[in-house]
Structure 1
Amino acid sequence: MLFLIILLIIVCVALGLFVLIQNPKGGGLATGGGGSNMFGVQRTGDVLEKGTWVLLTLVVVLTLSITTIAKSGGSSTGEASKIQQHLDKTPAPSPIGSRTAPAPAPAATDTTKK
């Protein structure tokens, strides 16, 4: 599961870069800089757009698979069960309506300067 989370982070960073590089209708980062274009303006836009859709699909698939694995308890280590055991041991907070005796007030101290 850790591998999928790392892969998801990498895909998200790549998706952000693809979105930033794209040439929107008004111009963007793809128009700045040099005059040499490897694919040409139209083909570059097509490649970046298709890459964006592919990366977006990967983000959705990875997110759903991580969620499915986490819900089914597919953790390879016992850390999740240790955390659950610790949570089970902690006492539940008292209901709002039932109050216990208030804590004693702190002792008054001398605040006058000498």
Structure 2
Amino acid sequence: MSTFTIFLALIVVVAFLLIVVIMVQNPKGGGLSSSFGGGGTQQLGGVKKTTDFLDKSTWTLATLLLVLILASNIAINRGSESVDSKALDLDAPTTAPAPLPTPVPSTNDAATATPDDSTGE
């Protein structure tokens, strides 16, 4: 298994976790953070701490995703060639496309034309 494949698998996992963390959040104060608060005086973990945890985990996962994407670019196997394009290859043979033959007008075209008899006259 190549290094790029490992990075690709990690990117997929981190992207999935980031989606889950973002979907759990609710900008109006609801979502998972309101279920921990419950509206009463008893709080399991506290609303403020849950919001802070979700906020920090979102930024951490987003940063990790960006770092993994940049690191995967380094791990791509580019082969042994250093030239990316044939246009940049100076040793490549240069061949010009063959010119297309130009049609020569014939003087018999006007003489062999027949009138259209589709009108019935």
Give the TM-score range, shorter chain: 0.5 to 0.7
Instruction: Give the match for residue 49 of structure 1.
Output: 55
Deviation at 1:27, TM superposition (A): 3.8
Is the radius of gyration larger for structure 1 or structure 2?
Answer: 2
Q: Distance in 1 between matches of 2:36 and 2:45?
A: 16
Instruction: Compute the TM-score of the two structures, normalised by the length of structure 1.
Output: 0.55
Q: How does 1:12-91 map to 2 (within 5 A)?
A: 12-24=15-27, 26-30=28-32, 31=34, 35=38, 38-70=44-76, 73=78
Q: Distance in 1 between matches of 2:48 and 2:5?
A: 39
Q: Distance in 1 between matches of 2:43 and 2:65?
A: 29
Of the candidates 6, 21, 24, which is equivalent to residue 3 of structure 1?
6
Deviation at 1:29, TM superposition (A): 2.7
Q: Which stretches in structure 1 are left out of the alignment for 5+ residues?
A: 76-94, 99-114
Q: Deviations over 1:1-25 (max 9, x none)?
A: 111101110000000011011131x
Q: Aligned letter for 2:31?
A: L
Q: Aligned letter for 1:11?
A: V
Retained in 1: the 8 A contact 2:36–2:46?
no
Q: Distance in 2 between matches of 1:17 and 1:52?
A: 10
| Structure (1 or 2) with the greater helix fraction | 1
Instruction: Compute the TM-score of the two structures, normalised by the length of structure 2.
Output: 0.52
SS of the counterpart of 1:19? helix
**Identity level (%):** 33
Deviation at 1:33, TM superposition (A): 8.7
